[in-house]
Amino acid sequence: MTPGQVTLVGAGPGDPELLTLKAAKAIAAASVILVDDLVGDGVLAHARPGARITYVGKRGGCKSTPQATIEQLMLEAVRAGENVVRLKGGDPFIFGRGGEEVESLRRAGIEPVVVNGITAGLAALTTLGAPLTHRDRAHGVVFATGHPQKNGPGVDWARLGAAVGELRLTLVIYMGISSAPSIQAGLLAALPEGTPVAVIERASLPAQRQCVTTLGGLLDSLRAQGLGSPAIMVVGDVVRGVRAALAEAARATETG
């Protein structure tokens, strides 16, 4: 039997209108779709009738489908001649285990196609009207995970914070809510308490919530607002623009 095709597709941050044309075409052509937990229902509206859709969610702190099982499902389907789409929230190659899956497929003699998606770390701050880079405020971006591999070394937040301050970078943290106390403590070893921080939960979706705070006030703000996963944290001077805009809006409301 002639093998099928595997395509790793980035579904974007959640809003189905942020799906790329190439991603929508791949989803529409698929006979088998393996779907991550954070993929919005609206994205699956592009699937063709009769497509076999299997949910293989992976979220920190929740019951997850083992990665080896997901890779086996892909291999079994493509060897059966299916057109397989592995549908992931955000982008497959940014904390989406896309690299692991590509390597697994290649070891089995399958060369996959990868379709990029808008990563949540970019979309989240965009919803607040702020950029990740700015000529005067941030000369680069660092994407980091707050949920490192089990029994792994983890992130040295103090060293990363020092680099963010010294090099004028924006720090974008994925999956960091459960580790917020250690992230805050580590970053405060290198950055001032007044460093601006934005936390955006369910970015781009109707249920999105957010808070704009400071590094010193991060934990208090999370508790007060009741923010939880999935959420993106953005640390750095680019957030100052958001705080200024919110303050201006509040003044306009008071005087209006």
Q: Which residues are part of the catalytic machinery?
A: 36, 58, 175
Cα-based angle 117, 99, 120 (whole degrees, multiple of 5): 30
CA 239 to chain centre: 18
* Nearby residues of 208 by Cβ (< 8 Å), 6 or more positions away: 127, 200, 201, 202
DSSP characters for 112-144?
A: -EEE----HHHHHHHTTT--S-BTTTBSEEEEE
- Which of 202, 224, 203, 228 is CA-nearest to residue 213? 224
Tokens 């957010």 — which residue?
210
